[in-house]
Structures are given as C-alpha cells and as structure tokens.
Amino acid sequence: MTTQGRAPSGMQVGDYELLTRIGEGGMGVVHLARRPGGQRVALKVLRPHVVGDAEARERLAREVKSLSRVQLPRIAEIVDADPWGPVPFVATRYVPGLNLHDHVAEEGPLEGADLIVFARGLAEAIQAVHHVGVLHRDVKPSNVLMEGRHPVLIDFGLARLADDERITRTGYLMGTPGYLAPEVLFGHEPTSASDVHAWAGTVTFAGLGRGPFGKGPSMAVLDRVRRGDHDLDGLGYEVLGLVVAALDPDPANRPTLTQLIARLGEDAIRDRSRPGRKSVPAPATMTMPLSAAPDFTATEVVGNGPNHVTSGVTSGEAPTRQQPPGQQPPHPQAASHPAAQPQASPSAGESFMAPARSPYQQPPPPQSGYPGQPGAGPHSPHHQGTPQQSGTPQQQGTPQQSAPQQSAPPRPSWAVRLRRTTLGLGLLAAVGSGVAAGPWLTLSLVTALVILLRSVSLSSTAATQRRNRRGTKWYDGLVDVLAAPWHFLVSLPLSLLLVAWGWMLAACVALVLLLLGVEDIVLLLVSGLVLGVSVWTGPGSSRVRTPVRNIGRPMAGDTMWWGIGVVVLCAITALMLYTAGSNGVEWTPTNTSPWGGNSWLAKLDR
C-alpha cells in the first residue's frame, strides 16, 4: 500500500466518514475513517473484481466471521464488515505506525532484543490467524505495521480468497517474488509452512533492511527462491539459525510456528557463527514453470479472461507469470530420482540446523487444505518429514553446508549473580527469623507455600506442553482452571514429602542444639535456616525453585526492583528478630515450647 491523500470531503461508506486515504493495493483502497461515535478505523473498500459476484461475497463473509474471533494485540483485527452492501468494505483496528518497510528506511534495521521481539510477535500473529483456519499467504514488510517495537499484522486472510478461480486470474500468481514459498511457485496449494517461509523473509528484512533473495528481474529472484540461494550476511545471530531453517526450499524441513515461538521465547538464541551468503550448488538452468522474464511492476491484477493485464507500482512487489495447470514442465530431478521418504522432523527443543539444500522438488499434490484442516491427507506439502537423499552420484556429491551451531546463553555478569545471591540469602534469612519469632505459624506458612508453588509449577508445565502439542486455543484458560484441582492432588504427595523432609532435618538440628544448651531464639533461628535450605534442595524441590527464580531473576536484573526486594526482606528479618528478642517466642497455637513443662524434651534441656 503506497498511496496517500485526502478523501473527498463528506464521502461516506456505510456509517463511516472517510478522512484520509492511507494506502492502496491490489485488493482495495484503505482509508482512515471515523464512525459517528468517534472511533477511528482503517477502512478497506474492496475492489469489484475481488467480490464481484454472490459466491465471492459469501466467501468473504465466511472469512470475516472466522477472523472476527482473532483478538490479539499483534493483529489488526476486524471490527466491522459489510460484504453484502453496495460498496463492500472491511474495517480493522487503526494502527498509527509505519509499515516495516518504511520503519526500517527511517530507523534502520532491528537488532538484538528488538529483533527477537519482532520475530516472536510476528510468528504469534501468524499462528493466531492459522488457529481460526485461515492462511495469510501474503506476509511481507508492507503488510506489517510497527506499533512501537511490536509488529502488527494487517491484510490477513483476504488472500485466502485466491482459492476461487474467478478471483485468481488464470496464468498469474499473486504475491511478492522475494516472499513466496517455492512450493507456491510450482502451483501447489500453500500451507502453514508457506507462511513460515514468508515469516523468515520478513524477519530477514527487519534485521538487514533487504530481502533474503536479493533484487533484480523477477525470474532471477524466483530462481534463487527455488534453490534456497539466500543472502543472510549480517543477520543477527539471535534469529539466524531459525531463519535459515525456515527458508528451506522443502516445506517439510521447515520448523512449525509453535517451534519458532518456543525457541524465540527462551532468554536468548545464540549462534557463534555468522556465515555469509548461503550459496548452494544447484542446476544452473531455470526449471520453474514461468515463461518470459519481464521485470513485472505490479501487484494488482486487472481484467477478466485471457487478455487481462497488470498495472504497475514497483518491481519489488510483483506478480509472477505461471503456466496454467497441466502445462507445467516436470521438474528435471523429480523425473529422474525416486520420491523422497519422510523422516521425523525436529522438535521444538532441538536446534534448527541449516540442512543441505537442493532445488525444491514437487511433491505429490495435496489432498486438500493445510495441516490441521479436516481432510488434509498425508501427502500435504507440510507433512512433517525430511527427504532422504537419492542414491545418485550427482546428489551424493553435493557439498554439505555447515550449519550454525547453537550455544548456551552467556553466563550472567558477576553483578547480576551477586544480586541474585543477595535475594536468595535475604529470603532464607526471612524464613529463619520467622521460625525464631513464631515457629508453628511460620512452619504452616512454609507448608502452604510449598504446596502452592509445586501445584502452580505442575499446572504451568502441563499447559506449556499442551500448547506445544496443538498450539494456543481460545479455551486454554478455562482448561487451566478446570485442571488446577487435579494438578493440586497430583502434586500434594511429593509436596508433603518435601515439607516433611525439611521438618525432619530442622528437628534434628534443634535436638543437637538443645543438648548443647543453646538459647531458644538461636536454636529456632538455626533450625529455620536448615528448614529453608532443605525445602530448596530436597526431593521435588525443582518445582519450588522454578517459580521463585522466575520472580527473583527479573528483580535481580533491575537495580531498582532488586533494591526494593532486599529492603523488604531485610525489614522482615529485622522485625521478626526484634519481636522474638523483646516479646519472646510466640508458640501459638500452643502455650509453651515442646521442651517446656514436664515433656521428655524438657529433660534434655536440663
């Protein structure tokens, strides 16, 4: 979308007053519009050739109904639509920001944490669209708006209408050459893996200010796409490994969006190598089903029938000529080599390595849809598997490309480690002083916290595993609430065992100190410290440490919050010790200590 200008004064579409034209593309014209109530929206007035008949309008209505369920800050969700009106339109949330292309031109490429935030946010936005059964099909820099440091995906789902042969003009492939997946170039149905490929191209642009497959005539760009011949020199190591994997010419080798989000959700993704241009040997001849090689200058397809033409905008976002079905020449390697056999694909926890690339070979045509859609068969291009190499000398002689090696995140600085240690010692001191001031009350509180933390940790782990298996669903929150009692019961036995372990060790230390005649306050303070250490290191304690660290590590990373935490813990410790020293030990709910009165422990105290 490139054109801006003021709309004619007083012009309205439905209830919306058009204020300013903010963009124009092949699917329609976008205006900044305002409803009578004052809400501003981005109003896209669709062109007649997109919804020119009843069936096309019905398909648009189904798309709008599906996409209206998508509510995510990283998506410009639909707020209103009228596919049946005299002037069909779609109104989406207005995002007052530049698109990624203009943002990079003004601010420069993204780096470091900003690039990770962008890559994860874009993957989450695409995944949210997939979850309602829609493929974006046109993820590219001009379709991503920047709201601060976060991406917002726009124009999602409307490209789904390209399934209708009356909307996708025969002989043309709508899309942008540098961001189209190889399987789409061969006329196969796009899948979720196609959007993953476009995600990688868009992330590359965000990090480098250029697309992964360079510039030039459309034929040359598409040939590089087909062969996986990309240029990632200078791309941040935080995302390099994932981008290399996502640009694989074979859709079966690409990571899923769930895997991408899981990897980008870690503290950091490190890559020690920064390889240059990824040039892999491939046949020199162009084998794609394309005719001539003009430098197309359009994204909009106009007209009907065999004599339709294209209208120009820029050469960087052009449609490509595609032979009609049945006229595509067979792939040269596909005709001479046996079909590839699938292997298991990498899981979310594995490092995505750059496999040796070969030109994309057309797989058997998919039965229907895309993964997760009812009726999608095992021949779907996104079927998770890794093609085995054929036994031909030519393929066996292809050099293997070295892959980026993932390394562990760097060790935190000594200052951060020191702050973490002080928070841990402060928490331990608070537990010990609490036992010295009120033993039974503190023991009850520690027991309750251990049970709660282990239950919450188990619930969180189960929810994460469930989302990794099948993605995020709208009802995940309800499932988490309903499953909480079960996770509480499952975690309870080991929680009680951990508490009993701490009590036992603390009691043993207390008995030894009692025999030595140590004062009650000192005895209880030392026993409380032993209790804290035992609960932190005992059986099943990992589910206690994890949630505590999830709170403490961010605090240690921020000097202000670390200072507040230290002050609070020191204040609690001082208050407990002062109370115990001035008022004595509070043995509520009992009236005296276990070794007071005529108990057998009293004899040890004597």
What pLDDT, in 10s, does the model give residues 370-414? 333 334 443 333 333 333 333 333 333 333 333 333 344 456 788
Q: Are 365 and 358 in contact (CB under 8 A)?
A: no
Can you say whether the dihedral through the CA atoms of 325, 226, 161, 163 is positive or negative? positive
**SS3 helix, strand, coil % of the chain, rounded to 5?**
45, 10, 45
Specify the pLDDT at position 591.
Answer: 78
Specify the pLDDT at position 52.
Answer: 65
pLDDT at residue 317 greater than cutoff 50? no
H/E stretch holding 569 = helix 559-583
* Domain covering 1-94 assigned CATH 3.30.200.20 in the classification: yes
What pLDDT, in 10s, does the model give residues 436-469? 999 999 999 999 999 999 999 999 888 877 775 6
| 97-325+347-357: CATH topology | Transferase(Phosphotransferase); domain 1 (1.10.510)
Please give the mean pLDDT across all residues of the chain: 73
Beta bridge partners of residue 30, listed in sequence order: 23, 44
Specify the pLDDT at position 89.
Answer: 84
Is the pTM higher than 0.85? The answer reads no
Instruction: Decide: residue 481, CB within 10 A, 0-12 exposed, 13-18 middle, 19+ buried.
Output: exposed
Q: Are 449 and 430 in contact (CB under 8 A)?
A: no
Instruction: Give dist(CA 218, CA 238) in Å, integer.
Output: 30
Question: How far, in Å, are 48, 158, 219, 545 from residue 463 at the CA level?
Answer: 46, 32, 46, 18
What pLDDT, in 10s, does the model give residues 74-120? 888 888 888 788 788 888 888 888 889 888 988 889 988 899 999 99
Domain ranges of the chain: 1-94, 97-325+347-357, 416-605
The answer to whether the annotation marks 44 as part of a ligand binding site is yes
The DSSP letter of residue 365 is P
Q: Collect all residues with Cβ–Cβ distance below 8 Å to 168 and sequence separation of at least 6.
A: 162, 174
Of residues 143 and 159, more confidence is placed in 143
Q: How many helices (H) and strands (E) does the chain have?
A: 16, 17
Average pLDDT on 512-527 reads: 90
Task: Convert 204-216 to b/e letters by CB count within 10 Å (16 or more is b).
Answer: bbbbbeebbbeee
